[in-house]
């Protein structure tokens, strides 16, 4: 039971994060990305437009358990990127009040979010390792039963 | 139903939900009714800027100074309108600064007070109590003190500030500074510079 629950929770995190950003002007997320001072201007804009959709779709698939293995890999990649981005900001001591990860809905400091993201990353690694258990109560399970 | 077909339906459904929510939010957004008291420039200027700022936010002060420079250089091309968006949870003096600016505005001294608040933000943002300094700024801006004190005690001042903030929220403003430049959303000082460069060039 714990594996499908973890899958739904981690998927939910991505879904909420992506949904908040896609329903609001992308410029809000662009502002958050600019604070990390990692990318050239054009890449910041591209990321601000595309990344929320990737989060949203990955989160949705993970929650529903559709294309579970692929969704887990995408989610792992996303959380790995989040960890690297926040870690470099902490190492460079960038003046960030909050991480900008969930827009205005949830505000967490970079230190809080790196712990949370690391937990999600580890959880996803475990889920990927136990794919059969993770796919319980999923749409994938319904398709394989047929 | 085949898996691929279900995948397409889910993706299209998710996009449709997001689009529907965006349409709902835009329909329920407040109207930006022009405030003459906190606006300067020709209402028919080719560049109309509405700024949502928090007086205690450093990026807002930076943006305000950029806008002041642009307005000084191109007064006939720019219309600037200011809206309050105080972030009280992180800035302890922001509401007080906003009420002083609003009361100065009610005496026709909004922009001198606004300029003093942003230009000297570094002097007051870390103070425990900033009222004394704000009163001094008001004097410098030419605000009549007795009327200022009466205004500050009036509950509708904070209400005006909060109305602006609620309007901003309904328009999707999440952080400060956020600008609407000819209706296009621009967030942050860096994006403001890039956008202004498009209108006035880099050597403005």
Query: What is the CATH number for B97?
Result: 3.40.30.10
Interface contact flag, A64 B10, Cβ < 8 Å: yes
Which chain A positions have a beta carbon within 8 Å of B188's beta carbon?
Answer: 30-31, 34
Claim to verify: residue B146 and residue B123 sit in the same structural domain:
yes
Tens digit of each residue's pLDDT (9 = 90 or more) over B61-103: 999 999 999 999 999 999 999 999 999 988 999 999 999 999 9
Claim to verify: residue B6 and residue B80 sit in the same structural domain:
no
Please say if the pLDDT value at position B148 is more than 60: yes
| Interval B118-125 mean pLDDT | 94
Claim to verify: residue B92 and residue B164 sit in the same structural domain:
yes
Claim to verify: residue B56 and residue B25 sit in the same structural domain:
no
At residue A54, the pLDDT reads: 97
User: What is the residue-averaged pLDDT of chain B?
Assistant: 92
Name the band, by pLDDT with cuts 50, 70 and 90, for residue B35: low
Name the band, by pLDDT with cuts 50, 70 and 90, for residue B23: very high
DSSP tag of B31: P
At residue B28, the pLDDT reads: 82
Claim to verify: residue B19 and residue B64 sit in the same structural domain:
no
CB B85 within 8 A of CB B128: no
Kindly state the tokens that stand for A124.
Answer: 């996803």
Domain range holding B114? Answer: 39-200
Claim to verify: residue B163 and residue B137 sit in the same structural domain:
yes
Nearest beta carbon to residue A57 from set B3, B6, B14 = B14
How many domains would you assign to chain A? 1
ipTM reported for the complex, 2 dp: 0.87
| Interval B149-169 mean pLDDT | 93
Interface contact flag, B191 A34, Cβ < 8 Å: yes
Which chain B positions have a beta carbon within 8 Å of A58's beta carbon?
Answer: none
| Interval B28-41 mean pLDDT | 76
Claim to verify: residue B98 and residue B186 sit in the same structural domain:
yes
Q: How far apart (Å, rounded) are the C-alpha atoms in residues A27 and B174?
A: 10
Please say if the pLDDT value at position B202 is more than 80: no
Interface contact flag, A28 B172, Cβ < 8 Å: yes
At residue B29, the pLDDT reads: 78
At residue B182, the pLDDT reads: 94
Q: What are phi and psi of B154, to 5 degrees?
A: -80, 130
Residue B43 burial (10 A CB sphere; 0-12, 13-18, 19+): exposed
Domain range holding A54? Answer: 2-145
Q: How far apart (Å, rounded) are the C-alpha atoms in residues B72 and A51?
A: 39
Per-window interface: A 89-118 vs B, CB < 8 A: 97, 103-104
How many domains would you assign to chain B? 2
Claim to verify: residue B86 and residue B6 sit in the same structural domain:
no
Claim to verify: residue B25 and residue B66 sit in the same structural domain:
no
At residue A70, the pLDDT reads: 96
Claim to verify: residue B20 and residue B48 sit in the same structural domain:
no
146 residues of chain A, pLDDT tens digit each: 899 999 999 999 999 999 999 999 999 999 999 999 999 999 999 999 999 999 999 999 999 999 999 999 999 999 999 999 999 999 999 888 788 888 777 778 889 999 999 999 999 999 999 999 999 999 998 888 76
Tens digit of each residue's pLDDT (9 = 90 or more) over B163-182: 999 999 999 999 999 999 99
Residue that the structure tokens 């889910």 belong to: B10
At residue B36, the pLDDT reads: 64
Name the band, by pLDDT with cuts 50, 70 and 90, for residue B203: low
Name the band, by pLDDT with cuts 50, 70 and 90, for residue B144: very high
Claim to verify: residue B167 and residue B145 sit in the same structural domain:
yes
CB B103 within 8 A of CB B157: yes
Q: What are phi and psi of B28, to 5 degrees?
A: -90, 0
Claim to verify: residue B135 and residue B181 sit in the same structural domain:
yes
Q: Find the DSSP H helices in A24-67.
A: 26-34, 41-64
Please say if the pLDDT value at position B14 is more than 70: yes
At residue A99, the pLDDT reads: 83
Tens digit of each residue's pLDDT (9 = 90 or more) over A31-55: 999 999 999 999 999 999 999 999 9
Which chain B positions have a beta carbon within 8 Å of A97's beta carbon?
Answer: 90
Please say if the pLDDT value at position B204 is more than 60: no
Please say if the pLDDT value at position B34 is more than 80: no
At residue A146, the pLDDT reads: 62
At residue A97, the pLDDT reads: 77
């Amino acid at each position: 039971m714990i594996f499908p629950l973890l899958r739904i929770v981690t998927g939910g995190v991505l879904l909420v994060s992506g949904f908040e950003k896609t329903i609001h002007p992308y410029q809000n997320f662009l502002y958050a990305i600019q604070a990390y001072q990692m990318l050239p201007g054009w890449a910041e804009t591209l990321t601000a437009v595309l990344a929320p959709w990737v989060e949203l779709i990955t989160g949705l698939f993970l929650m529903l358990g559709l294309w579970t293995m692929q969704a887990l890999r995408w989610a792992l990649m996303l959380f790995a990127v989040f960890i690297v981005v926040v870690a470099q900001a902490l190492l460079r001591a960038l003046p960030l009040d909050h991480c900008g990860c969930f827009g205005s809905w949830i505000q967490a400091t970079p230190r809080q979010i790196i712990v949370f993201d690391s937990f999600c990353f580890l959880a996803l690694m475990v889920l990927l390792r136990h794919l059969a258990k993770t796919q319980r109560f999923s749409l994938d399970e319904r398709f394989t039963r047929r | 139903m085949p898996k691929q077909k279900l995948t397409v339906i889910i993706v299209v459904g998710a996009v449709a939900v997001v689009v529907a929510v965006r349409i709902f939010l835009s329909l329920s957004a407040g109207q930006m009714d022009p405030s003459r008291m906190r606006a300067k420039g020709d209402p028919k200027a080719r560049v109309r800027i509405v700024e949502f700022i928090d007086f205690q936010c450093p990026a807002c002060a930076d943006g305000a100074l950029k806008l002041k420079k642009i307005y000084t250089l191109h007064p006939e091309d720019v219309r600037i309108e200011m809206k309050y968006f105080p972030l009280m949870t992180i800035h302890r003096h922001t509401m007080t600064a906003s009420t002083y600016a609003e009361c100065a505005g009610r005496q026709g001294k909004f922009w001198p007070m606004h300029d003093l608040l942003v230009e000297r933000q570094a002097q007051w943002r870390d103070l425990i109590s900033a009222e004394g300094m704000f009163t001094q700024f008001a004097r410098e801006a030419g605000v009549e003190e007795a009327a200022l004190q009466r205004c500050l005690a009036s509950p509708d001042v904070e209400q005006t500030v909060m109305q602006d903030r609620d309007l901003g929220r309904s328009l999707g403003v999440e952080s400060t500074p956020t600008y609407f430049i000819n209706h296009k959303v621009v967030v942050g000082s860096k994006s403001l510079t890039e956008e202004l460069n498009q209108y006035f060039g880099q050597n403005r």
